[in-house]
Amino acid sequence: MQKVAYTALAGTSIEWYDFFLYGAAAALIFPTVFFGEASPSTALILSFLTFAAGFIARPIGGIIFGHFGDRIGRKKTLVTALILMGVSSTLIGLLPTYAMIGVTAPILLTTLRFAQGIAIGGQWGGAMLLVTESAPSNQRGYYGAFAQAGAPAGVILANLAFIITSASVSDESFLAWGWRIPFLASALLIAISMYIQLNLEDTKAFKELQSYKENHLKDNNLNKTSFKKSPIIEAIKKYPKRIILAAGAFLSIQVTFYILIAFMLVYGVSDTNLSRADILTAILIASAIQIPVQFVFASYSDRHGRKGIFMLGAVLTALWAFAIFPLVDTGSFWLTVLAITGGLVFLAMMYGPQAAFFTELFTTEVRYSGATLGYQFGAIAGGAFAPSIAAFLWTEYDIVWVSAYIAFASLLTLLSVMTLTETFQTDLNETTSQEI
């Protein structure tokens, strides 16, 4: 079980590293490198829109990988998603700039970002189910947190990559070629993919589902076409309400997270005397604190249920939203660390138990599809345009409206989770649907 957990953590950490690396680059590098002809504010918004392309692709990736994850297994699907991400991110590191090939450069950049989104759309479901379906029933939250820890670990790795690279070369060299090095390091994902393929087995729940199908075919003299229904369509037919509410439960996490790790890079540098390295370091420290507290909240949910801690996280995130920017506006590095850490800790109250919570909402035969659809539709609704919306609210109105935006998303999450039933005592081997 520990080998499964740590392997899932390694795979998701590098996968999210690639995804978040793009977010940092979209704020700091790509406006100049790929949109240099536009004004600074227009270039920033265009760069963040390419960032959004990854989110638009995530539900598509969820549909594709969800189908095959429920049909051929969690492991094979996860391996394919990891390889796709590794190749896409490495190619971003090799892209010619706008100065070299003109408008083709941002088009190619957006295409590769879209491929990243398809990969991340499939990765989360595979890694999450690999650990939660393998875990003891009373530790699904704890082991699910290993898959969830990949996100803050990815933020740490991405920020470290930019801090180390930018500190090692001049600003001119960093803009010219230094930014490519962190993307080229993504080739490591391909090696991790091969390790998973060669050293891990699929989950017990999926194996039991396959055995059930085979026995059912024999006992009833049926042919294999009896089980050819699309898992995605079956998930939507059986659990439309759960998928929508799962997406709603994810809104607060996504909006808050991407404002703190992407928009904050622009706001902190533009509105205070803090440097790019200061903001990156503050996000790094906050993310390092987020990882252990996620495990604490996930373990708590194993004993006391998923809903209570999830709803408390949504309430505290809404309230903290109005403290974040006044703390950053002081220009104090440590108060900025406090602002971002508070947001990520309250977010961890939701994100830590989320893998187990979403796993338990769906039965085995459509679990990959159902959980992934809820997760990815929540991602596109909450995270895709969060940095762009925040930038618009800040430049056109006032920063307090960004806080109100976070609070509104948190309210929607609170209402969504309140509508769902408690799940922590669910039998994951059950193959019949239940109503909410």
Q: Burial-class residue 108 by CB neighbours within 10 Å (0-12, 13-18, 19+).
A: middle
What pLDDT sits at residue 186? 79
**pLDDT value at 225 more than 70:** no
**pLDDT value at 205 more than 70:** no
The CATH number assigned to the domain holding 155 equals 1.20.1250.20
- Answer yes or no: is 20 within a domain: yes
- Answer yes or no: is 425 within a domain: no
State the pTM of this model. 0.80
How many domains, in total, are found in the chain? 1
Instruction: Report the amino acid identity of residue 394.
Output: W
**pLDDT value at 254 more than 60:** yes
Pair 266, 280: CB distance under 8 Å? no
Task: Name the nearest CA neighbour of 254 among 390, 67, 114, 370.
Answer: 390
The better pLDDT of the pair 287, 198 is held by 287
| CA atoms of 227 and 216, how far apart (whole Å) | 10
Task: Name the nearest CA neighbour of 37 among 98, 104, 125, 84.
Answer: 98
Q: How many CA atoms lie within 13 A of 230 on its CB side?
A: 9
Q: What value does the CA radius of gyration of the chain take, rounded to a whole number of Å?
A: 21
Q: Could you list the residue range(s) of the whole structural domain that residue 300 is in?
A: 2-202+237-419
- Answer yes or no: is 207 within a domain: no
At 226, the pLDDT band (50, 70, 90 cuts) reads: very low
- Answer yes or no: is 28 within a domain: yes
What pLDDT sits at residue 228? 54
Instruction: State pLDDT tens for residues 39-76.
Output: 777 888 788 788 778 878 878 888 888 777 777 776 77
- Answer yes or no: is 326 within a domain: yes
Taking CA atoms, 163 is separated from 26, 183, 285, 316, in Å, by 15, 14, 13, 31
At 203, the pLDDT band (50, 70, 90 cuts) reads: low
Range name among 70-84, 160-174, 334-348 with the lowest pLDDT average: 70-84
Collapsed DSSP state (helix, strand, coil) of residue 277: helix
- Answer yes or no: is 391 within a domain: yes
- Answer yes or no: is 426 within a domain: no
- Answer yes or no: is 222 within a domain: no
Range name among 247-251, 339-343, 350-354, 376-380 with the lowest pLDDT average: 376-380
At 206, the pLDDT band (50, 70, 90 cuts) reads: low
What pLDDT sits at residue 433? 45
